[in-house]
Each structure stands twice: as C-alpha cells, then as structure tokens.
Amino acid sequence: MPELLRSESRSEVVRAQVRGGPVPAVILKHARDEPVCGLDDQAGADFLTRQGLEFGPRLLAADVDARLLVLEDLGRGRSLEALLNGEDARAATGGLISTARLTGQLHASTLGRQSEYELVRQALPPRHERVRVENARFLLDNEGRLLRWLAAVEAPAAPGLHEDLEDVARTLADPGPFLAFTHGDLAPSNVLFTPGGPRLLDFEYAGMRHALYDALMWLVTVPFPDELVARADITYRITLSSRCEAAQADSAWTRARATVALARTVNLFQWLHPRVLEEDREWAPGMSERAALLHHLARCRALLAPAEAFPGLGRTLASLEARLRERWTVPPFVWPALRALEWRSE
C-alpha cells in the first residue's frame, strides 16, 4: 500500500513500492489546486536531472494532464526543521551550514544556464511570465499595501520610497551576474538529510531568479542567532564565489543582500493585512505574524546598514518598525535546539 507522506491543498505526496523494477520505491506527487506550481516543480526537477545535478530527487516520469510526477525516493532521513526542533545544537547548526553550502553549490552550478532551463520550462504549458519578472511586478503593483500599513500606524513615507522600490524591482527582474536556478521556497522543512548527503525537496516555486532569493532563509525569513547567520552567510558566499565574481566584491555582495532583504520585508507587509494590529495570528509553527514582521524589519535593518543604499525605503521601514515596537512587545522565536546558543549570545 502507498505510504501517504503529505496531503494538502497544493499537492499530495505518497511513497510507493516498486515490484521488480530497478528501484525499490518511488515518490508520487500529484499537483492539486495550483497547476502552475506543479509545472514549475516538474520543470525544476527535470532541469536538474538533465543537467546531472544531484540537488534534489531525480525526475523519473511525468504526466502533465494528470498533474503527476514520479520522483526518485531519496529514502528516509531527518529534515533541517526536525534537527532545529530537536535537542542537539551541534547537529542543528551543522545542518544549517550544510544547507548554506548546498545552496551555494546549486547556484554556482547553474549560473549562466538560463537558456537550458527555459528550454525545459517552455516545453510545458506556458506560465504567464518568468518567475523573477512576476516577483518584481508583485512588489511594484502592491505598493499601496505597504502605504496602507504606514497610514494605519501613522508612520511617514520617506522621500524616495517609490524610486527605491523601482530600483529593487529592476534588480529582481534582471539580477545580472547573480542570475541562477533557485529553489524558490527554501525552508527548513524542504531540506532533507539523506545517507547520500543533504537534498532539497519541493521545487514548486523554482525558477531562474536572483541567487540570494534562496539565501533569504537564514538572512531574513527564519530566526537564527546572529553568529549562526554570519557563519551561514560566509559559507554560502565562499561557495558561490567559486563561479561568481560579483560575489567576491564586498560592495556588490552587501547591495545584493540588501536588495533581496528589502524585497522580502516589503512582501511580508504586502501579504499580511493591517488587521494584525488588532489580532495576532500564527504565521508559521511557533511564530506569530507580529513576531515575523518585527523579525523581518530587524534583519532588513541590519543588512541595509553596510550597503549604504536605498535610503528612502530604509528610512520608511525604520519609521514603521519604531511605530510597531511602540505597540508590540513580542518574545523572539528560538528553535529548541538553539536555546543554549541564544542564552550564550545574551
């Protein structure tokens, strides 16, 4: 009998045993309500398989009409999320550093391969536009949602806000030397530690975009101690720098980090409604929406400081952060495995 691994609105995933085949088991993945995600998932797995890059499960077969993928079974292992929720700080920190290294290897290996990826993606039913253009357009088209937050807390919009947003969006749409194949939804739950090493799962938001989009996991999105963020950042940068000269230049690197951090922080305010001011709800397991907003603002501020760029957007977010901290006192989120590290850092 197939073993149900996950069932949600976006997809259903099962492990099935194979009788008399070259492999003992396969993963069957059915895309449900979001067919574009399913097609991007297929294109990502197919692209990596064709390139001989073992960063995720190999694509064995697919049926577009049935929205079904047959993927290599990577076997059982622990996710990065499981390590972080455990009790072994060394395993958790080592897992994050390994993830940063793997991500840098993925991007270094796919720099300049946009044509190869587009051939794979265009062979499938077309998407509305390239994912990086889609990300840039969303940022600009929903500027009003950020302004709505500013009005709700009576925080001023600094001069140059719109121009800075346009600058960030242009870089998202055309990352230049940082254009690489990205996972697109890099989260601790999507990193699996297998007997053959760490692998990435679920490429439903994959595509060619700014490489540091994936680095947002440790830079901005997921709370980690500052020392661990710095270690992950340098590990990723060294790995990417092997094939990306821009990553070797401090000025280009600090600006690239600030760009993606700003985009993600503004996105969070575009995704969440100001009703969070009246009612706090869960944003991710163990972390509320208010905690997520304050964490993003603090991390974005830290990454903006050395870049010395985007002053209008930076001052606007600083004013917004000050207003929100006047209203909210939210305990920071700490992973169970990292509680000792957080205590030592204090």
Per-residue pLDDT 10s for the chain (346 aa) are 789 998 987 889 999 999 887 888 999 999 988 889 999 999 999 999 999 999 999 999 999 999 999 999 999 899 999 999 999 999 999 999 999 999 999 999 999 999 999 999 999 998 889 999 999 999 999 999 999 999 999 999 999 999 999 999 999 999 999 999 999 999 999 999 998 899 999 999 999 999 999 999 999 999 999 999 999 999 999 999 999 999 999 999 999 999 999 999 999 999 999 999 999 999 998 899 999 999 999 999 999 999 889 999 999 999 999 999 999 999 989 999 998 775 444 3
Q: Classify 26 in phi/psi space as left (phi over 0), alpha (psi -120 to 50) or beta.
A: beta
* 91 burial via Cβ count (<10 Å: 0-12, 13-18, 19+): middle
Dihedral pair phi/psi, residue 203, rounded to 5°: -95, 35
What residues does CATH 3.30.200.20 cover in the chain? Answer: 1-73
CATH 3.30.200.20 fits 1-73, yes or no: yes
Dihedral pair phi/psi, residue 90, rounded to 5°: -65, -40
The radius of gyration of the chain's CA atoms, rounded to the nearest angstrom, is: 20
Provide the strand spans (E) within 57-173: 59-63, 68-72, 78-79
CB of 118 closer than 8 Å to CB of 256: no
What residues does CATH 3.90.1200.10 cover in the chain? Answer: 77-345
What is the distance in angstroms between the CA of the first residue and the CA of the last residue of the chain?
51
CATH superfamily of the 77-345 domain: Aminoglycoside phosphotransferase (APH), C-terminal lobe (3.90.1200.10)
Among the listed residues 139, 136, 15, 28, the one whose alpha carbon sits nearest the alpha carbon of residue 77: 15
